[in-house]
Structure 1
Amino acid sequence: MPTPLDRALQSRNAFLGFAGIITAVAAWTIWGPSDVFPRAGDPVGDPESWTDDELRRWLEARKLYPGSTSTREELMARVEANMRAPRV
């Protein structure tokens, strides 16, 4: 004779409820309002004090993809050439 627990585990409603919860959590994770891995913001301050990674991130954010073999001087030259002049 099956117990109430056996009947609950064999119920289609329990399976569909569980599948619905998993689907809802997956949809929330994919399309939810918050980013799981938020992007780092632009570096601030003087570009001379930025690291190579910050220089590359700044260039990539502006679709000025730096070469993988670019030196720090080349990165600095590209950043300085593409920075907007301050408004007076």
Structure 2
Amino acid sequence: MPTPLDRATSSRTPFFAFAAIVTGVAAWSIWGQDLFPSQDPQGDPETWTHDECVTWLKKRNLHPSPLATTAELLERVKANMRTPRN
């Protein structure tokens, strides 16, 4: 006598859809939200472009204003930079 699980897996389309969802959720939880991380700008912040400042701030969830100038973004970057620990 077939069980409810047997009946559910007998039609393959819903079973494979469910398996794909479970696989996707597992991959998301393993790798996190940032599957393809953007590179952090390197070097002195004084030489960074507007886009590099925006990238640095976004990566730290500091929500840069789209209307901010490069000088304003640079000021926020400097204010939020941490000194390295020894």
Fold match, TM over 0.5?
yes
C-alpha deviation, 1:44, in angstroms: 2.1
Q: Which residue of 1 aligns with 2:3?
A: none
Instruction: Find 1:45's aligned residue among 31, 43, 46.
Output: 43
Provide the C-alpha distance between the structure 2 equivalents of 1:18 and 1:58, rounded to a whole number of angstroms: 44
* Compared CA separation, residues 58 and 31, structure 1 to 2 (3 A): same
Contact persistence 2:40–2:55 (CA under 8 A):
yes
Aligned partners of 1:83 and 1:53: how far apart in 2?
A: 17
TM-score by length of 2: 0.63
Cα distance in structure 2, aligned partners of 1:14 and 1:64: 47
Identical aligned residues as a percent = 36
Q: CA deviation at 1:43?
A: 2.1
Q: Deviations over 1:1-31 (max 9, x none)?
A: xxxxxxxxxxx78862232112211221233
- Point out the structure with max Rg over C-alpha: 1
Aligned equivalent of 2:75: 77
Q: What is the RMSD computed on CA atoms of the aligned residues?
A: 2.8
Q: What residue in structure 2 maps to residue 66 of structure 1?
A: 64
Q: Secondary structure at the match of 2:40?
A: coil
Q: Residue type matched to 1:43 in 2?
A: P
Q: Which moved more, 1:66-75 or 1:52-61?
A: 52-61
Taking structure 1 as the reference length, the TM-score comes to: 0.62
